[in-house]
Chains A and B, each alone.
Chain A
Amino acid sequence: MVTKSLHKRENALAQSKKQLEILSNGIFQNGELPTFKDKIAETGQFPLKAKTLEILQINVGYMCNQVCEHCHVDAGPDRKEIMTKETMQQCLEVIKNTGAHTLDLTGGAPEMNPNFRWFVEEAAKAGIKDFIVRSNLTIIRANKKYYDLPEFFKKHNVHVVSSMPHWTRGKTDKQRGDGVFDKSIKALQELNAIGYGMPDSNLRLDLVYNPSGAFLPGNQTSMEKDFKKALMEDFGIQFHNLFAITNLPISRFLDYLIASENYEDYMYQLVDAYNPAAVANVMCTNTLSVSWDGYLYDCDFNQMLELPVNSKVKHISEYNEDLLEGRNIVISQHCYGCTAGAGSSCQGTVA
């Protein structure tokens, strides 16, 4: 079980340049597999262009109380990149004026940002239709100061989206760390107790499933059914929807794929499962990702690969929704992760 980020371990894959090299060399360089650009060009979908903004996703920092085996952020307790109040202020100006219907806060563990609560209180005033916080669940039980988070979320009508790799302890702890399963169950029961995830409740509680190894997620609807049955029978837990998300071959998951000699097979799986219908709705076309230091990216994955938006507007301080619309999306071979099978996005399948 890893306890430190790739950055802290000074692993070569902590560098985005190294990751991009791997994704462009080997099987993609020798023509064994087509590059993502060539693949989408086959169906006339190159260049991918940004449509009207619907989802504004803000990453408030890479610090996390967990060190998950497959984290694409390379998050952990040792990451010090945290959004400042000044950058949050700039984000708030955008939140007040955006046409996006969804505001999505992520991290790391977003709750660990010292200004998280202030930011949520201020952002909630903007009245955006769907206000998501991606909470890892264990943070709620990590320290006394977080025990009231469920009530805080409820007060601000926050939509809670949480990771849960499996309904069994073994598979969950293998991916997310010892004890994560029990803490997550406790947190879910607390959220249920105040109304989150209950049928007909407006307090939305969704779970995110991503595979624990080098394989793609199964059918989202079937997985949701299995999760609901198991969590209800074993723990009396309820939730609304399950989002099945494919692991993208970057950061710690890329490190895992290479170390376990699964990289090439996994890329074959992704390319074999390529679905042009998923390309049409891929999330980068309606999402904008803001990093902890205020820079803009087509998605959270591009943020981690340090591939900024292809636009004159680069930073939240100079934000202009009209100028950003229609920009060409920056792509590489990791994008196959979002177009495999039924597609994958931060909101689950897309096709």
Chain B
Amino acid sequence: MSKTYYDPADLRKFGKISDWNEELGSKFFEYYNSVFKEGALSEREKSLIALAVAHTIQCPYCIDAYTGDGLQRGITKEEMMEALHVAGAIRGGASLVHGVQMMNKVNKLDG
């Protein structure tokens, strides 16, 4: 067994998850491929959203995949970093917005 949880080489084996459940695996990949097709949003926009989400959920496979995908699409490192700051702002904001709850509680108990 591998001594680490993540192996970069495993990313290209992603499709193998269908080996143990063909029906659900196929449905998932069909859905996945449809999601990333051009629609109301461009493929480029979806790639940047995926990159930001990848960092939010801290998935190393997804980070590798959507950094590579962005480079292929000509997305610049400046654009990638801005997308990450959107993720960072939402994550940070999610903590800080709970400050209102804290303030409400303080005001109620000790106001």
Chain A residues near B (Cβ < 8 Å): 166-168, 170-171, 209, 211, 213, 215-219, 222-223, 226-227, 268, 272
Contacts and interface: CB of A to CB of B under 8 A. Distances in A.
Contacts of A166: 74, 76
A217 B72 contact: yes
A270 to B, nearest CB: 12
Contacts of A222: 43-44, 73
What's the dominant secondary structure at chain B's contact region? helix
A168 B76 contact: yes
B68 A226 contact: no
Interface in B1-59: 12, 43-44
A268 B12 contact: yes
Given A222-B44, A226-B44, A211 B12 contact: no
B71 A215 contact: yes
Interface string B68-96: 10011110100000000000000000000
B68 A223 contact: no
Nearest to A170: B76
Given A171-B76, A211-B71, A218-B74, 20 more contacts: A166-B76, A167-B74, A168-B76, A170-B76, A209-B74, A215-B68, A215-B71, A215-B72, A216-B72, A217-B72, A218-B72, A218-B73, A222-B43, A222-B44, A222-B73, A223-B73, A226-B73, A226-B74, A268-B12, A272-B12
A346 to B, nearest CB: 20
| Chain B interface category by residue count | under 10
A167 B71 CA distance: 13
A227 B73 CA distance: 11
A103 B90 CA distance: 56
A184 B73 CA distance: 22
Contacts of A226: 44, 73-74
Contacts of A209: 74
Contacts of B76: 166, 168, 170-171
The 5 closest A-B pairs by CB, nearest first: A218-B72, A218-B73, A215-B71, A215-B72, A215-B68
